[in-house]
């Protein structure tokens, strides 16, 4: 029982949710470690959406809205934390939602797809094949899904698939609290924000951006600028951290 007046209530509820989902097999045990790393970076940005993250979220919306075939890739952590937010984003931008796992078993794929469906997501299914040039199981995807996508949103990723998708000519949007990660550095656009804050901001922007705003956002994409701003925003807070 987590008391609702606990100062870290939200964070503890999220941990509890992830632990429950890990026991069921939806979240990989390694996903708990990944979450801890994310939490540490979230502390550094002050557990809020920074200015640079908001710019990245609006730009992500612009990319999704103008994509020919946008795909949202979902892993165990993202499904456990943000199935509702994925469903809302899918409604706003019409993207395919496809499950793609690092610690892949058919059982986990099925559980995650069912969880997403419970939250109203229209899950892209069909026969998965080893289509991406990767030696691990993230290579498995669907020919008419991620393989044919022009824009792929990858929340909480490990770097080499992101790099591979970029090398295949795709526009990759990463959500990663660590601005130093390989994923963050190799994506076309990185959102340095917590996934449950980032997805609603993207959805909100999808519903509100004008055509000229979309055009402007896309013409000024500069991932190095976004990452250096994220690092600057983190370090700028540190001198005042104990005040």
Q: Is 50 in the site for ligand PTJ (CB under 6 A)?
A: no
Which has the closest alpha carbon to 165: 192, 186, 196?
Answer: 186
Instruction: Pick the binder of ligand PTJ from 31, 70, 145, 179 (CB under 6 A).
Output: 31
Instruction: Kindly report the number of other CB atoms within 10 A of residue 73's CB atom.
Output: 27
Nearer to ligand PTJ, 18 or 149 (CB): 18
Burial of 230 from C-beta contacts in 10 A (0-12 / 13-18 / 19+)? buried
Instruction: Pick the binder of ligand PTJ from 45, 93, 177, 214 (CB under 6 A).
Output: 177
Q: How far is residue 189 CA from its own chain's centroid?
A: 11
In the structure encoding, which two tokens stand for residue 118, read together?
């419970």
Instruction: Pick the binder of ligand PTJ from 195, 214, 217, 227 (CB under 6 A).
Output: 195
Q: Is 201 in the site for ligand PTJ (CB under 6 A)?
A: no
Instruction: Pick the binder of ligand PTJ from 18, 95, 101, 153 (CB under 6 A).
Output: 101
* CA-to-CA dists, residue 81 to 10, 116, 234, angstroms: 12, 11, 24
Q: Is 132 in the site for ligand PTJ (CB under 6 A)?
A: no
3-state secondary structure of 169: coil
Size of the site for ligand PTJ (CB under 6 A): 25
Q: Is 30 in the site for ligand PTJ (CB under 6 A)?
A: yes
Tell me which residues in 203-242 interact with ligand PTJ (CB under 6 A). Answer: none
**Residue span binding ligand PTJ (CB under 6 A) among the ranges 62-70, 73-81, 139-147, 162-170:** 73-81
Nearer to ligand PTJ, 46 or 208 (CB): 46
Instruction: Pick the binder of ligand PTJ from 90, 178, 186, 188 (CB under 6 A).
Output: 178
Scanning the structure block, which residue is given the tokens 């290579």? 139
3-state SS track over 54-120: HHHHHHHHHHHHHCCCEEEEECHHHHHHHHHHHHHHHHHHCCEEEECCCCCCHHHHHHHHHHHHHCC
Nearer to ligand PTJ, 100 or 214 (CB): 100
Chain positions contacting ligand PTJ, by CB under 6 A: 28, 30-31, 34-35, 37-38, 41, 75-77, 81, 101-103, 156-158, 175-178, 181, 194-195
């Amino acid at each position: 029982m987590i008391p609702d007046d606990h100062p870290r209530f939200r964070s503890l509820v999220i941990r509890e949710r992830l632990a429950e989902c890990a026991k069921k097999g939806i979240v990989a045990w390694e996903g708990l470690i990944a979450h801890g790393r994310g939490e540490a970076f979230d502390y550094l940005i002050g557990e809020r959406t920074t200015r640079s993250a908001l710019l990245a979220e609006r730009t992500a919306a612009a990319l999704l809205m103008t994509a020919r075939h946008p795909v949202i890739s979902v892993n165990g952590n993202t499904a456990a934390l943000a199935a509702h937010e994925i469903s809302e984003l899918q409604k706003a931008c019409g993207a395919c939602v496809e499950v793609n796992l690092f610690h892949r078993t058919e059982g986990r794929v099925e559980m995650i797809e069912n969880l997403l469906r419970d939250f109203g997501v229209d899950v892209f299914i069909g026969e998965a094949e080893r289509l991406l040039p990767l030696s691990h199981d993230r290579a498995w995807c669907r020919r008419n899904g991620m393989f044919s996508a022009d824009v792929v949103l990858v929340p909480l990723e490990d770097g080499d698939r992101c790099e591979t998708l970029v090398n295949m000519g795709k526009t990759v949007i990463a959500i990663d609290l660590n601005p130093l990660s390989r994923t963050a550095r190799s994506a076309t656009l990185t959102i340095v924000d917590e996934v449950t804050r980032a997805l609603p901001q993207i959805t909100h922007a999808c519903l509100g951006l004008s055509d000229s705003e979309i055009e402007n956002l896309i013409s000024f994409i500069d991932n190095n600028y976004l990452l250096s701003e994220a690092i600057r925003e983190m370090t700028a807070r540190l001198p005042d951290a104990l005040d």
